[in-house]
């Protein structure tokens, strides 16, 4: 999500376990033209470029640091001129290593990076929702304070004009984590649904039974920098749901319950739409595919909220069934479309880069650890059209990678970071023109 994810590694494969709903949504085209129309977001014609993949500059870190730009941290966003990336940087502090977040901006016109102020220069945050509002970059997600043991969901927003970050206060729910989050471009608000919280009446957690899942909904307004509680969702209480916009409403679907810390986590069904203008919920028909967790959520074109990939169960140590199909809610017809399996190689293939552009859902790269022990990284991918409900292949990229971030500029798709062969961090990338 990225969706908001944490990493579970078995051997050389990383599997994603969703910890909040988001980060796999890529709504980077201009709000009034999500399909871009062949122009960049600032209205300028696309510069001439040959079709296919082309090389791009790599971010040069400060001496003594090792930055890691992957979808585990946050999705990239497109500001209209630059792609903004948030990574996690390892550096030497005394006799050990420390971690912090690093922010960078890439300008395709000059093929160059510049370092931005960090939202978290003294600590690392991962699994963050990352959105561009039109003027501001927002990052938001779950946070665990190791010193106090407290959980909370908060964030920061970035002003490109001053290169400064401003705090977003925590949702006023004790020990909240793994809630679904999405940005409402209609009302300039964050919508937070569900999650795991401290039970009513408890002041501090004593064991796993101190927590419960909820169906509460909270809204943060950028203009007033304030939270308010709105109507509860009609969905059953859950955590790790995911969300995507259909152009007007925010669609929330699937997730998991909290029965403690079981050996295996199972997904649960259900989908509902939240109207940020009316502040009302509507229960939706069940998507026409298996319920799941740790899946991608993307706005596709003007009116589709797409959900793809993931797992029906996670955590027992066996090879998990990996799903390569999905569903898209169509706001124009109030019905679901099935997103079929694109037929890419790799039975357990996961850690794709996903993004949307020109009314299509893109899935690319990833890794798969097969039953026979073979570990593979991939250079191929496919794009699904919301108009024709069909897949087409993408041209092979020059380098295979997993867990990369991706963003569409209105002209090109930028795929950056992640891991290359042998689980080696690679902060290079490539640009796709079609």
Can you list the residues of the chain whose pLDDT is less than 70? Answer: 1-44, 259-264, 314-319, 422-426
Confidence at residue 24, expressed as pLDDT on a 0 to 100 scale: 44
Quick check: helix, strand or coil at residue 181? strand
Question: Within 10 A of 47 (CB to CB), how many other CB atoms are there?
Answer: 11
Please give the model's pTM, rounded to 2 decimal places.
0.90
User: Cα separations (Å) of 33 from 126, 303, 354, 363?
Assistant: 30, 11, 20, 22
Question: Within 10 A of 334 (CB to CB), how many other CB atoms are there?
Answer: 12
> Which residue ranges form the domains of the chain, and what is each CATH number?
4-433 (2.120.10.80)
Query: Which H or E element spans position 183?
Result: strand 180-184
The contacts of residue 69 (CB under 8 Å, 6+ apart) are: 59, 85, 86, 87, 104, 405, 416, 417, 418, 427
User: Cα separations (Å) of 149 from 68, 168, 174, 205, 375?
Assistant: 26, 20, 12, 9, 37
Confidence at residue 201, expressed as pLDDT on a 0 to 100 scale: 87
Confidence at residue 39, expressed as pLDDT on a 0 to 100 scale: 37
Q: What is the pLDDT of residues 25-81, one digit of tens each?
A: 444 443 433 433 333 444 468 999 999 999 999 998 888 888 888 888 999 999 999
* Tokens found for residue 122: 């003294």
Confidence at residue 20, expressed as pLDDT on a 0 to 100 scale: 35
How far apart CA 413 and CA 265 sit, in angstroms, is: 34
* Tokens found for residue 173: 């729910």
The contacts of residue 226 (CB under 8 Å, 6+ apart) are: 220
Confidence at residue 44, expressed as pLDDT on a 0 to 100 scale: 61
Confidence at residue 317, expressed as pLDDT on a 0 to 100 scale: 54
| CA-closest candidate to residue 219, choices 262, 288, 278, 271 | 278
Q: What is the pLDDT of residues 356-376, one digit of tens each?
A: 999 999 999 999 988 888 999
How far apart CA 285 and CA 272 sit, in angstroms, is: 8
């Amino acid at each position: 999500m990225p969706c908001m994810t944490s990493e579970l590694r078995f051997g050389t494969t990383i599997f994603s376990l969703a910890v909040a709903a988001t980060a796999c949504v890529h709504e980077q085209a201009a709000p009034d033209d999500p399909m871009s129309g062949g122009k960049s977001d600032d209205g300028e014609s696309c510069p001439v470029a040959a079709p296919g993949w082309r090389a791009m500059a790599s971010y040069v870190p400060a001496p003594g640091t090792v930055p890691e730009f992957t979808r585990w941290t946050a999705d990239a966003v497109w500001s209209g001129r630059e792609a903004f990336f948030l990574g996690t940087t390892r550096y030497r502090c005394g006799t050990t290593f420390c971690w912090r977040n690093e922010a960078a901006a890439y300008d395709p016109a000059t093929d160059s990076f510049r370092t931005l102020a960090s939202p978290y220069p003294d600590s690392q945050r991962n699994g963050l929702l990352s959105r561009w509002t039109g003027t501001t970059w927002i990052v938001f997600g779950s946070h665990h304070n190791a010193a106090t043991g407290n959980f909370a969901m908060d964030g920061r927003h970035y002003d490109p004009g001053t290169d400064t970050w401003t705090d977003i206060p925590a949702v006023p729910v004790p020990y909240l984590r793994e809630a679904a989050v999405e940005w409402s471009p209609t009302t300039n608000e964050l919508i937070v649904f569900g999650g795991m919280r401290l039970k009513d009446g408890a002041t501090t957690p004593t064991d796993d039974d101190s927590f419960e899942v909820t169906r509460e909904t909270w809204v943060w307004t950028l203009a007033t920098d304030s939270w308010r509680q709105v109507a509860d969702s009609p969905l059953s209480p859950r955590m790790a749901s995911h969300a995507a916009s259909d152009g007007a409403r925010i669609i929330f679907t699937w997730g998991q319950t909290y029965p403690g810390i079981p050996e295996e986590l199972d997904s649960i069904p259900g989908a509902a739409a939240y109207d940020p203008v009316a502040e009302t919920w509507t229960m939706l028909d069940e998507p026409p595919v298996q319920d799941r967790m740790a899946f991608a959520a993307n706005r596709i074109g003007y009116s589709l909220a797409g959900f793809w990939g993931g797992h029906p169960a996670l955590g027992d140590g066996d090879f998990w069934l990996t799903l390569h199909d999905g569903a898209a809610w169509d706001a124009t017809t109030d019905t679901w479309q099935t997103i079929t399996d694109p037929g890419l190689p790799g039975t357990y293939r996961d850690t794709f880069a996903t993004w949307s552009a020109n009314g299509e859902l893109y899935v690319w790269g990833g890794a798969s650890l097969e039953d026979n022990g073979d570990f593979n990284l991939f250079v191929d991918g496919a794009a699904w059209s919301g108009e024709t409900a069909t897949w087409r292949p993408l041209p092979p990229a020059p380098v295979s990678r997993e867990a990369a971030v991706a963003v569409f500029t209105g002209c090109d798709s930028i795929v950056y970071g992640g891991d290359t062969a042998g689980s080696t961090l690679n902060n290079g990338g490539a640009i796709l023109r079609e």
